[in-house]
Amino acid sequence: MSGVVAEASTVVTTPALSHRPWWRGQPVQVALVIAAMWLAYRALRLEYPWPSRLAWETLQFELDRFQVWLIEQRSAEDKNVVFAVFDGFRALIDDLVRWLEELLLWLTWVGTGAAGTLLVWRFGGLRAALITLAAFALFALTGLWAESVQTLALMLAAVGLSLAVGIPLGIAAGRSRQVARFLTPVLDAAQIVPAFAYLMPVVILFSVGPAAAVVATMVYAIPPSVRITALGIRGVPVNTVEAAASMGSTRTQMLTKVQLPLARRMVLLGVNQTILFALSMVVIAGLIGGGGLGAVVNSGLSSTPSVALLAGLVIVVMAIALDRATEAIAERTDPARRHLDAARLRIVRLQTAAVAAGIVVVIAAAKLAGVGSTYPAAAGVRQRTVTAQEWLLTRIQSVLDYVQDPTSWIFSVTEPTGIFILQKLLLPLQQFLVEGPWFTTLLGLTFVAFVVSGLRPALTTFVMLGAIGVTGVWGLAMDTLSQVLVATLIAVVIGVGLGIAAAESKLVSKAMRPVNDVLQTLPQLVYIIPFIYLMPVSIVPGIVAGVLYAFPVVVRLVERGLHDVAPQSVEAAGAFGATRRQVLTKVKIPLAGDAIMLGVNQGIIMVLAVVVIGGLVGSGGLGYEVAQGLVRGYFGQGVIASFAILALGITLDRVTQGTRKARKEGLG
């Protein structure tokens, strides 16, 4: 399912036949630049950290003062208009979330479970309904019903509002080229910003609470809904639109009677993606007052790892159930495919009525029988309940104990791997970047950007890196950068390897697909949790998680790139008697260079998003600063680090975008 988005962004970027020479000359030039940086590092190590003359040292202090002022303004009796508006908005969203949560609780746990399952059954069919039922059962069995419901309420609000914004924008972009041209760069930019970096600004505007969680989630979840809706509207056959126009449809009639019904499946798949994007924010939304499962994960991370893992598992199951349910609904309710004639329509209406009646009856019965609002019932209400929570926690704990037992088999794999990554890759690179003279690093990276992507990206890189230095987080940013580079390197090696294998063998390709899909459905932080315990070597979990999050995209892009290599070239090489291996190494891989470059470009941004989240669990760097800012309320520090993450994201995107950006047309 997560294919839709990737599809949307890669369809237009098939590599061109004629090849630009970056593949030949550039590696040499880049190597030369790095060699020069290396020499400077050897010679002038530790002598030139970012000079304090060039740093704005009171910035943090100013920001803290700003926060005090903000708080005063916010709590003042006679607020000025801006604050009144923000406050009103915040109160509205807070109320919405609370109201949804109370509704789900009022329905009782039986009622909520039955209503969800029956609705999915009616619109999505039996299979999806069973998955939904299983998910509800898990919520109850883990004893995390109340938290799950809280998360569901938050999701309903965030997804609902995201769609309320995203679908109209998508429709507008689908119908008008101007709107699309205007929105594309905005959406592209939103994609570069790691979710972790805008938590801080959101907190500034909305302070901590459900509203902040909803808004942060919306920022992340709106872009896919816009993109996919636009794609759907534009995918309506031109013939059909033209025919409807020839009969004198108004613009509204065209939209409601032609474009929306025919794009309906795509729009619903957009809803599906929006939900998955929103769910992947649950955990970090927990940091800014989202509550629910996210909060359980966050508090468990430091104290009771088994609880964090259990809550993570519940989030994953919730994601899978929502994914399957919405996908099934999108497919099954497509009017162009289900061929509802009069008789079938009557049956369907009866079913709907029966389901509605069923839901009402179950809820009424549950209310009459005095079923509790959660399972197990809230404290004070006497009810006999059995959950598997204890049992599950013990199991998880025993697995944790096993993987952390130095005598276990798995430990003998993970420990050396972790240490290898740390000592052979991470630390040397970190030293190189952090301890090298600041000016060679700055100029070197700028020059790399120039060689790989051209003048403007190089200027952007220079400005962004300069800004990072000026705000006083140069060292932290270089630390994060080293983590990102190591993780990207590993992700690209794995991704290119598997991508080539998948392109050359149908079997591998088939086997990869479900793995890729699952890996991309999971919320980002959920990746990290297991590795905190599996590879308890400080920075490594964040890196491994980043690799896992990013490599599927590289695989997909490389596989695609190799497939799209013009058959003529391959055939011609074959005609000269080249072996399959020669065709691969001499023709296909060089020709697929653009796809690999695109993989690096997308992968590095995804890695950054995960690596900074690693700051929550001890990866250090900028992510740690943001985490401190959020958790401890170190405002100025958090804002600066957030900004630096953004600047780093833009830099990484510009450096790796290559010269291909011109051909990359967003929105479809």
Partner 1 sequence: MEPLIRASGVWKVFGPKADRIVGTPDAALERAELREKTGCVAAVRNVSFEVLPGEVFVVMGLSGSGKSTLVRTLIRLIEPTAGEISIGGRDVRAAGAAELRDLRRNDVAMIFQHFGLLAHRRVIDNVAFGLEIRGMPKSERLSRAREVLRVVGLEDAADQFPDQLSGGMQQRVGVARAFAGNPKVMLYDEPFSALDPLIRRDMQDEVCRLQVETGQTMVFITHDLSEALRLGDRIAIMRDGAIVQLGTPEEVVGAPADEYVENFVRDVPRSQVLTLRWVMRDPEPGEALDGPRLDVGTIVRNAIPALAGSERPVLAVDDDRVVGVVDRVSVLEAIAGEGG
Binding site for partner 1 (CB under 8 A): 237, 239-240, 242-250, 253, 257-258, 261-262, 264, 334-336, 339, 341-342
Give the chain's radius of gyration (CA, Å): 26
Q: Is 263 helix (H, G, I), strand (E, B) or coil?
A: helix
Q: What residue has token string 């009622």? A: 111
Please name the residues in contact with 118: beta carbons below 8 A apart, sequence gap of 6 or more: 129, 355, 358, 359, 362
Cβ nearer to partner 1, comparing 188 with 334: 334
The gap from C-alpha 592 to its chain's centroid, in whole angstroms, comes to: 26
Q: Are 295 and 386 contacting, i.e. CB atoms less than 8 angstroms apart?
A: no
Q: Least Å distance between CB 169 and partner 1?
A: 24
Residue 369 tokens read as 């029988």
Task: Report the C-alpha gap between 598 and 15 in whole angstroms.
Answer: 10
Q: Are 166 and 614 contacting, i.e. CB atoms less than 8 angstroms apart?
A: no
The gap from C-alpha 369 to its chain's centroid, in whole angstroms, comes to: 42
Cβ nearer to partner 1, comparing 242 with 390: 242
Q: Are 304 and 258 contacting, i.e. CB atoms less than 8 angstroms apart?
A: no
Q: Least Å distance between CB 256 and partner 1?
A: 10
Q: Least Å distance between CB 339 and partner 1?
A: 5
Q: Least Å distance between CB 346 and partner 1?
A: 13
Residue 519 tokens read as 């890996």
Q: Least Å distance between CB 249 and partner 1?
A: 5
Cβ nearer to partner 1, comparing 268 with 468: 268
Task: Report the C-alpha gap between 653 and 646 in whole angstroms.
Answer: 11
Q: Are 120 and 329 contacting, i.e. CB atoms less than 8 angstroms apart?
A: yes
Q: Least Å distance between CB 268 and partner 1?
A: 14
Cβ nearer to partner 1, comparing 52 with 252: 252
Q: Least Å distance between CB 244 and partner 1?
A: 7
Task: Report the C-alpha gap between 616 and 631 in whole angstroms.
Answer: 9
Q: Least Å distance between CB 288 and partner 1?
A: 42
Q: Least Å distance between CB 71 and partner 1?
A: 54
Cβ nearer to partner 1, comparing 342 with 369: 342
Please name the residues in contact with 186: beta carbons below 8 A apart, sequence gap of 6 or more: none
Cβ nearer to partner 1, comparing 165 with 244: 244
Q: Least Å distance between CB 250 and partner 1?
A: 7
Q: Is the torsion defined by CA of 18, 457, 544, 216 positive or negative?
A: negative
Residue 141 tokens read as 């069995």
Q: Least Å distance between CB 127 and partner 1?
A: 24
Cβ nearer to partner 1, comparing 27 with 237: 237
- DSSP tag of 617: G
560, with CB counted inside 10 A (0-12, 13-18, 19+), is buried
Cβ nearer to partner 1, comparing 161 with 268: 268
Q: Is 592 helix (H, G, I), strand (E, B) or coil?
A: coil
Cβ nearer to partner 1, comparing 234 with 660: 234
Q: Are 286 and 293 contacting, i.e. CB atoms less than 8 angstroms apart?
A: yes
What crossing angle do the helices spanning 199-206 and 621-632 adopt, rounded to 10°?
20
Cβ nearer to partner 1, comparing 79 with 332: 332
Cβ nearer to partner 1, comparing 250 with 579: 250
Q: Are 558 and 10 contacting, i.e. CB atoms less than 8 angstroms apart?
A: no
CA distances from 421 to 85, 418, 459, 552 (A): 50, 5, 32, 20
Cβ nearer to partner 1, comparing 248 with 380: 248
Q: Is the torsion defined by CA of 146, 148, 149, 153 positive or negative?
A: positive
Task: Report the C-alpha gap between 586 and 577 in whole angstroms.
Answer: 13
Q: Least Å distance between CB 246 and partner 1?
A: 4
